[in-house]
Amino acid sequence: MRKTKASSVREKVCVNEGCKSGGKLIPVQRFRKGRHVCRACCSKQSIQTNDRRINRIVEERLLASEIIQQDEIQFANLLYRSCERAIKSRKYSKNYVNVTCDWTDVVAMMTDLICEKEQFWNEWSKQSTTYLGSDKQLSTRPTLDRIDERGHYTLSNIQMLSYGENSKKA
């Protein structure tokens, strides 16, 4: 680390070879305390680790049980994230304080949605194809939506909407 002459901002170089800074000095505020990799690279590494974890869970629990097929893994990964978000948001978000969820396990929720709501899974798969084909344009991403906004996360109260449709509804 060093101080520049023009200002008192301390800077250092990210040690990640693929960093966008290209080996240039970066302000220390862009680093987590005690880390030698900048926040942007840390986030990227964290996302990749999480993607591998979700992919492993989907393959071990859903593909191996023949709940999904090989060509549906990416769709299931997107559903995993949405189910995880639905379960966590009701616990940690002020907007969902009075909303309950019938599931505490993400894979159990996914299994019920895939096996018990065939039309939901067909719509999810179709919207996932659209999302992945649009270079992951956020407005086309499939999301979970409660049909009755005053209702809870139950099998009969969940539908698929694109992110764009869900945003307009809110």
Task: Note the pTM of the prediction, 2 decimals.
Answer: 0.73
127-163, pLDDT tens digit by residue? 999 999 998 899 999 999 999 988 999 999 999 999 9
Amino acid at 90: R
Q: What is the pLDDT of residue 7?
A: 44
Closest CA relative to residue 120, chosen from 85, 84, 147: 147
What is the sign of the dihedral through the CA atoms of 107, 108, 114 and 119? negative
pLDDT score at 4: 47
Alpha carbon distance 41, 23 (integer Å):
13
pLDDT of residue 48: 67
